[in-house]
Amino acid sequence: MPASKPYEFHPAARREFLAADDWYAARSPEASAAFLAAISDALQNVTSSPQRWPGYLYGTRRFVLQRFPFSVIYLDDPDQVRVIAVAHAKRKPGYWKRRI
């Protein structure tokens, strides 16, 4: 198995991720734990094989979570994966483009 690339969250993407987890945690500790596990799995998949997921908007790629209405939007840089957004499915596509 190839080595995973390191990853880095854009500060706004980190805030989105934490806000989503706060929302789930306020409703159910189990939902929060499942959301955190889904994000962790997504990051593991993306960093181990960043080219596997399809191209998206503005040169990014997108990993769609199966259980939650979120996508991890990222750039596959030569030395790292940059997480640009943890985007809710109901948000306007590309709202995060200024982060690139």
> What would the pLDDT profile of 48-66 be if each residue is shown by its tens digit?
999 999 999 999 999 999 9
CATH number of 36's domain? 3.30.2310.20
Asked if residue 1 is part of any domain, the answer here is: no
What is the pLDDT, as a whole number, of residue 23?
Answer: 98
Domain limits at 29? 7-90
Q: 35 in a domain, yes or no?
A: yes
Beta bridge partners of 80: none
Mean pLDDT of the chain: 96
- Is 99 within the bounds of a domain? no
- Identify whether 97 is part of a domain: no
For residue 100, being part of any structural domain is answered with no
Gyration radius of the chain over CA positions: 13
Give pLDDT, residue 1: 54
pLDDT at position 2 is 62
Within 13 Å and on the Cβ side, how many CA atoms surround 26? 6
Is the residue at 78 inside a domain?
Answer: yes
Under DSSP, is residue 41 helix (H, G, I), strand (E, B) or coil? helix
Count of domains forming the chain: 1
